[in-house]
Amino acid sequence: MTDPRGTDRATEPASPDTYQGTGARGATAQPAPAGSGAAQPAPAGSGTAGDVPGIDPAGVTAWFAANVEGAIPPLRFELVAGGRSNLTFTVTDRRAHRFVLRRPPTGPLLPTAHDMGREHRIISALGPAGIPVPRAIGYCDDPAVTGAAFYVMELVDGHILREEGDAAAAFDPAGRRRISEGLVDTLAALHALDPDAVGLGDLGRRDGYLERQLRRWYGQYRANRDEQGGPDVADVDRVHERLSAKLPGQGPAGIVHGDYRLDNTVVAPDGTVAAVLDWELCTLGDVLADVGQLLVYWTDPGEASVLAHTATADGGFLTRAELAGRYAEVSGRSLDRIGYYVAFAYWKLACILEGVYVRYARGAMGRDGFDFHDYPDMIRDLAGRALAAAGGES
């Protein structure tokens, strides 16, 4: 059996890597019968025969029959467009019950990347600890079933707020404020957990988190650039040098999500966080890295979004400054050096997109119709933002 433990694993997620949709406004994860006309994202690829890349229908159906209580074949598989790292599928059985299956991309993978057992282990531990996550249903470590390890979880009802107008269509300004507050409070609750108490004390090394992250992501960036033909962006090198020279001291290690942002959550109709998604980068370390990441993705009204996802530009959300202030208040942590963590988040995202671009260019992400050709420009823009943020950090 695959050991889901590790030492600060680095995989390559991107924006977004969720199972709920392709950016349809008001799209929800509400299970619905196929063909019912419910507001569901259009599948990027679907079928019960062998026409869905990454899925062996016979193998997965047999595994479901043995491991997923209540699943009734035949099963229909839909590749969810929108994920830029692991492949995510909705699985619908004969009675229109729906599940979510996640597996690595097809083709060669970087070492330690895309560990499905690790992600399954994390959500299995955090749910009972009070963190809203999808319920883990099962994990398969046998690559003979469908070519790679995978896990299955429940499909959570709620909204994915990704594009401008998504939030305004579903929530009034008071609801958008509740979303902002709930997002911060959930993050603070995660950071307050004792890793040992929830069974995740061996998830990764606790000390030297930022130093190891800089080394890991820079190594992956260079591997993708030098060995896979990814873009050569000089600012990535410059920022790595500056951040390595200005490392802040790390306090007690906590659980770091690694990619925490609004569109990696499912928001319930009442504005609370129904589930936090995409735990593939979760490890132990400096939790303020999550805060820097959240601020980088947060768009105030009138601003251009980092990745053209602008749900928070709708009025009613907390501003970026208010978001940081609430986190400091709820968590009791100092954000005196938050500029460093913002620069790191921009830089890390540039490194991530380098890997995403390479995977799409070699055809490892299936047929989801995504146009990745502007990624080199996005990588340069992110690296430039990182350099500007690092230059202002003392």
* Cβ–Cβ < 8 Å for 267, 156: no
Q: In this structure, which amino acid lies at residue 177? A: R
pLDDT higher than 70, residue 370: no
* Cβ–Cβ < 8 Å for 16, 130: no
pLDDT mean over 303-316 = 83
Q: Of the segments 39-43, 78-82, 316-320, which one has the largest average pLDDT value?
A: 316-320
pLDDT higher than 70, residue 203: yes
Give backbone dihedrals phi and psi of 123, rounded to 5 degrees, phi first: -70, -30
Question: What is the spatial distance between Cα 305 and Cα 162, in angstroms, rounded to a whole number?
Answer: 11
pLDDT higher than 50, residue 38: no
pLDDT higher than 70, residue 231: yes
Q: Supply the pLDDT for residue 24.
A: 29
Question: What is the spatial distance between Cα 311 and Cα 328, in angstroms, rounded to a whole number?
Answer: 23
Q: Supply the pLDDT for residue 11.
A: 39
Q: Supply the pLDDT for residue 7.
A: 38
* Cβ–Cβ < 8 Å for 199, 193: no
Q: What is the CATH number of domain 166-391?
A: 3.90.1200.10
Between the alpha carbon of residue 279 and those of residues 17, 236, 359, the distances in Å are 10, 25, 20
Higher model confidence: residue 20 or residue 195?
195
Q: pLDDT tier at 366 (50, 70, 90 boundaries)?
A: low
pLDDT mean over 285-292 = 97
pLDDT higher than 50, residue 2: no
Question: What is the spatial distance between Cα 189 and Cα 294, in angstroms, rounded to a whole number?
Answer: 15
Strand-pairing partners, residue 150, are 140
pLDDT mean over 83-109 = 86
Q: Supply the pLDDT for residue 112.
A: 59
Question: What is the spatial distance between Cα 99 and Cα 134, in angstroms, rounded to a whole number?
Answer: 10
Q: Supply the pLDDT for residue 310.
A: 79
Q: Supply the pLDDT for residue 210.
A: 96
Architecture (CATH level 2) of domain 45-154: 2-Layer Sandwich (3.30)
Question: What is the spatial distance between Cα 118 and Cα 64, in angstroms, rounded to a whole number?
Answer: 20
pLDDT mean over 306-324 = 89
Q: pLDDT tier at 102 (50, 70, 90 boundaries)?
A: very high
Which tokens is 216 given? 């890991």
- What residue segments make up the domains of the chain, in order of their start? 45-154, 166-391
- Positive or negative: CA dihedral 321, 323, 329, 332: negative
Q: Supply the pLDDT for residue 381.
A: 94
pLDDT mean over 232-261 = 95
pLDDT mean over 245-262 = 94
pLDDT digits (tens, 9 = 90+) for 114-131: 789 999 999 999 999 999
Residue with tokens 């869905």: 52
pLDDT mean over 239-245 = 97
Q: pLDDT tier at 365 (50, 70, 90 boundaries)?
A: low
Question: What is the spatial distance between Cα 61 and Cα 91, in angstroms, rounded to a whole number?
Answer: 10
pLDDT higher than 90, residue 50: no
Question: What is the spatial distance between Cα 79 and Cα 307, in angstroms, rounded to a whole number?
Answer: 22
pLDDT higher than 80, residue 376: yes
* Cβ–Cβ < 8 Å for 51, 45: yes
Q: Supply the pLDDT for residue 327.
A: 98
pLDDT higher than 90, residue 343: yes
Q: Supply the pLDDT for residue 374.
A: 84
Which tokens is 223 given? 């591997």
Range of weakest confidence among 43-47, 169-173, 276-280, 316-320? 43-47
pLDDT mean over 299-312 = 83
- Positive or negative: CA dihedral 144, 150, 154, 159: negative
pLDDT higher than 90, residue 332: yes
* Cβ–Cβ < 8 Å for 81, 11: no
Q: pLDDT tier at 362 (50, 70, 90 boundaries)?
A: confident
* Cβ–Cβ < 8 Å for 52, 123: no
Collapse the DSSP code of 344 into the 3-class scheme (helix H, G, I; strand E, B; otherwise coil) and give the result.
Answer: helix
User: What is the chain's mean pLDDT, rounded?
Assistant: 85
Q: pLDDT tier at 394 (50, 70, 90 boundaries)?
A: low
Of all residues in the chain, what percent carry a pLDDT higher than 70? 81
